[in-house]
Chain A
Amino acid sequence: MAARPTAKRSPRRDDGGEHPSGDPRFKLIDRTLKRFQYQQDALIEVLHTAQEAFGFLEEDLLIYVARQLKLPLSWVYGVATFYHFFSLKPQGEHTCIVCMGTACYVKRAAEIVASLQAEFGVEPGQTTPDGKLSVATARCLGSCGLAPVIVVDGEVLGRETPETTLSRLKALLDTSQPEPMAG
């Protein structure tokens, strides 16, 4: 099998670890590749780094990782699509994750999702057309004591209701309006 651990590979020198595009974010990926000595079983770790650096895994990135680890692209694509954590689509400026664990579900987290859907017209896993807000659901964030729980831009918020979530998100989107759109 292709993914058996092979003997330590010597890091390749032909491109000096520099990505032709000159994008400095590739350096982060190269660092992880070197740390794992280009071993093929480090694929998930490398994809984690790549997603952290770029926000999502675009096709070029998958090709780059596949080349570096000498894995078929189909293999890398297969792994990237298998795990929920990896996203092949760009994320919105702000993210709102609604926990749908059992405790949150019993305390009606589904109503929060429905209200988001009604207000912003996005299903879980989608981004609003203007790229402002991505809505997602999570399996369980392990803060069951505070159910229902949402995560807005990395901040965990407990004991939410549809109303508090909506007003929070509206405030967030309003404040970000005057700033010029990045990129």
Chain B
Amino acid sequence: MNRADLENMAQREQERQQGFRCRLLCCASTPCLSSGGTAVADALQDEIARRELNAEVQVVSTGCMGPCSRGPVVTVQRQGEPDLLYENVTPDAARRIVQQHVQGGEPVQEHLLPLDIPFFTKQHKVVLSNSGLIDPERLEDYVARGGYSALAFALREMTPEEVCAEIIRSGLRGRGGAGYPTGLKWDLVRKAPGARKFVVANGDEGDPGAYMDRTLMESDPHRVLEGMAIAGYAVGAEQGYIYVRGEYPIAAKRLERAIRAAERRGLLGSRILDSNFNFRIDVRIGAGAFVCGEETALMASIMGRRGQPVPRPPYPAQRGLWGMPTLINNVETLGNVAPIITHGADWFAGIGTEKSKGTKIFALAGKVATTGLIEVPMGITLREIVFDIGGGIPDGGTFKAAQTGGPSGGCIPAQFLDTPVDYESLRALGSIMGSGGLIVMDDRSCMVDVAKFFMEFCMDESCGKCVPCRVGTVEMYELLRRITDGSATPADLATLEELCVMVQETSLCGLGQSAPNPVLSTLRYFRDEYEAHIRERRCPAGVCSLDQVPVLEWPDRLHAQALAGNGSISGEVN
């Protein structure tokens, strides 16, 4: 296949799609499937077959459309009319949609989700631009929307140096969390000497509460593959690995299928698009270890070993997989590559803030009215995300904090709701962008309990290689457990703070270095809750049961004072 064939294919597919009077797009990503999406798709198919509309109406199973809590969702595209989106579709409603809307032209009002609400209008879709509009299992759908033209353009019109320069100019930063400039990383790998080089897409999304990478891999797998191929061309690699979390079987299956489809058409494999560039991609399935999201641990896991990190430097850009220079990018980062090549670096740099360019996908979850997957320009405020896009706190609750970055991140309290969301601002607040999980908490969430939850996670997930992380997380968890069950003393709080700093500074990899972050950020903004647990033996949010009695190594007189909540205790004991 060459560039002209690619354009032909796109045109043929566009014509085919226009041949249908109406297209029904059913969301087939995990959240919608688990709320009954399969039955809805079947009902649509049955009804269309029954009414003998097969020739003019097409039902397409697509990827995620965004408002996951409103699923199953169905988009109706009628020729010459704006798209309409239906929420909470039941098989019954599906049949009515066919009868009333598809045949009669009259929308079914009660399931209609207006597209002009802030949930949609405040978003800016770059990475997810195809998601929900194409069938992820058909290469032609992707090509019809301009897929692989960026790869064709890069291979024909640009040198690897120019590709790297374009990415540097765009200002794209890693979407996995730390925000390292992507172009610089590419250039480092390009310049690194090595007989073979590798490209790795990190799809091991271990953060609880984050599912952007899974959605992207499930909804638009070719976008990731195209990004990897462009990266391979830019750095001089001929082999790529995409490391998918074991919990994401649908994503792995769709990627495998997408790779085979692209190889058959000569869009991956040898002599891609009649150029001299060869690039193969293999899927590697993770086996459930949070630490494998860390790049050196991930490489160990790809090589079939225990996913334990090694000290850096040397960085993977110099010595990675099997000692060769290796480029590791997050799946979402690679999803930005094709649009940058297609529309140019200046277009991309025009979105977002001065230091954080482009858009970011967030998985909005927790105590908000509409949860789901959103893509917003960098620099949007937290208030806009929670109250405009998410629709505010349900059941009359008040906003207490937003947790970003999962176990490596922190909590942002209400007074910072107007902070723009970008790498620097979040870091200044003691949190991080992370991979993009955004959990909203209301006044019924206990922050100490949340910190304990994350610490338990880190304790379980510590790979055990370095002592500060292996022992430190257990100790910190134990201290937090004692605070939440009421048996902690003020001295324990001091120990906890000391441990936080120690684990942060002495751990080997990102897991241990960032494990204390949830504790530190909740201590920073919600110290009164910790104190209420310890001194007053009460949980302000009413979550912790506090049924244990502190075991004190001090006289009964002080013990009684402590139980009475006398603030002068710590001074006397210390």
Q: Which of A43, A141, A143, A147 has the most CB of B within 10 A?
A: A143
Query: Which residues of chain A are within 8 angstroms of B372 by Cβ–Cβ distance?
Result: 145
Instruction: Flag whether A134 is at the interface (Cβ < 8 A).
Output: no
B71 and A145 form a contact (CB under 8 A): yes
Instruction: Flag whether A59 is at the interface (Cβ < 8 A).
Output: no
Closest CB of chain A to B485's CB: distance in Å? Answer: 14
Instruction: Flag whether A166 is at the interface (Cβ < 8 A).
Output: no
Query: Which residues of chain A are within 8 angstroms of B308 by Cβ–Cβ distance?
Result: 82
Residue in A closest to B285 when the chains form the complex, CB atoms: A48
Q: Which listed segment binds B: A98-106, A115-123, A171-179?
A: A98-106
Query: Which residues of chain A are within 8 angstroms of B439 by Cβ–Cβ distance?
Result: 102-103, 106, 144
A146-B35 contact, Cβ under 8 Å, with A100-B208, A106-B441: yes
Ranked 9 nearest A-B pairs via Cβ: A145-B68, A142-B211, A83-B287, A101-B208, A144-B365, A156-B34, A84-B288, A140-B208, A85-B288
Q: Which of A5, A42, A43, A102 contacts B365 (CB 8 A)?
A: A102
Instruction: Flag whether B305 is at the interface (Cβ < 8 A).
Output: yes
Residue in A closest to B36 when the chains form the complex, CB atoms: A158
Query: Which residues of chain B are within 8 angstroms of A142 by Cβ–Cβ distance?
Result: 30, 205, 210-211, 214-215, 247-248, 363
Query: Which residues of chain B are within 8 angstroms of A143 by Cβ–Cβ distance?
Result: 30-31, 34, 68, 211
B206 and A139 form a contact (CB under 8 A): yes
Query: Which residues of chain A are within 8 angstroms of B302 by Cβ–Cβ distance?
Result: 41
Instruction: Give CA–CA (A121, B38) in the complex, Å.
Output: 34
Instruction: Flag whether B571 is at the interface (Cβ < 8 A).
Output: no
A: residues with CB less than 8 A from B are 3-5, 40-45, 47-48, 78-79, 82-86, 100-103, 105-107, 138-147, 149, 155-158
B33 and A156 form a contact (CB under 8 A): yes
Residue in A closest to B371 when the chains form the complex, CB atoms: A145
Q: Which of B205, B306, B372, B406 has the most CB of A within 10 A?
A: B306
B: residues with CB less than 8 A from A are 30-31, 33-35, 67-69, 71, 205-211, 214-215, 246-248, 284-290, 301-308, 322, 363, 365-367, 371-372, 403, 406, 437, 439, 441, 445, 450, 453-454, 457, 461, 463
Q: Which of B215, B246, B305, B445 contacts A85 (CB 8 A)?
A: B246
Query: Which residues of chain A are within 8 angstroms of B437 by Cβ–Cβ distance?
Result: 102, 144
Q: Which of A3, A4, A44, A102 has the most CB of B within 10 A?
A: A102
Closest CB of chain A to B346's CB: distance in Å? Answer: 35
B210 and A140 form a contact (CB under 8 A): yes
Beyond A83-B287, A102-B208, 18 additional contacts (C-beta under 8 Å) are A44-B285, A44-B287, A45-B304, A48-B246, A100-B208, A102-B209, A102-B439, A102-B450, A102-B453, A103-B208, A103-B439, A107-B366, A140-B209, A143-B211, A144-B209, A144-B366, A145-B31, A145-B372
B301 and A102 form a contact (CB under 8 A): no
Residue in B closest to A159 when the chains form the complex, CB atoms: B35
Query: Which residues of chain B are within 8 angstroms of A141 by Cβ–Cβ distance?
Result: 30, 247
Can you name 29 A-B pairs with beta carbons within 8 Å?
Answer: A3-B303, A40-B304, A41-B302, A42-B304, A44-B284, A79-B304, A82-B308, A83-B288, A102-B208, A102-B366, A102-B437, A103-B365, A103-B366, A103-B439, A106-B367, A106-B439, A106-B441, A138-B247, A139-B288, A139-B461, A142-B211, A142-B248, A143-B68, A144-B68, A144-B209, A144-B211, A145-B372, A146-B34, A147-B371
B365 and A147 form a contact (CB under 8 A): yes
Instruction: Give CA–CA (A143, B286) in the complex, Å.
Output: 19
Closest CB of chain A to B397's CB: distance in Å? Answer: 11
A106-B363 contact, Cβ under 8 Å, with A140-B208, A146-B31: no
Closest CB of chain A to B250's CB: distance in Å? Answer: 10
Closest CB of chain B to A58's CB: distance in Å? Answer: 17
Instruction: Give CA–CA (A73, B285) in the complex, Å.
Output: 22
Closest CB of chain A to B535's CB: distance in Å? Answer: 25
B31 and A3 form a contact (CB under 8 A): no
Query: Which residues of chain A are within 8 angstroms of B248 by Cβ–Cβ distance?
Result: 142
B322 and A5 form a contact (CB under 8 A): yes
Residue in A closest to B437 when the chains form the complex, CB atoms: A102
Query: Which residues of chain A are within 8 angstroms of B30 by Cβ–Cβ distance?
Result: 141-143, 156
Instruction: Give CA–CA (A105, B215) in the complex, Å.
Output: 21
Closest CB of chain A to B80's CB: distance in Å? Answer: 33
Q: Which of A40, A85, A106, A147 has the most CB of B within 10 A?
A: A106
Residue in A closest to B251 when the chains form the complex, CB atoms: A142
A82 and B304 form a contact (CB under 8 A): no
A102 and B406 form a contact (CB under 8 A): yes
Instruction: Give CA–CA (A40, B437) in the complex, Å.
Output: 35
Closest CB of chain B to A43's CB: distance in Å? Answer: 4
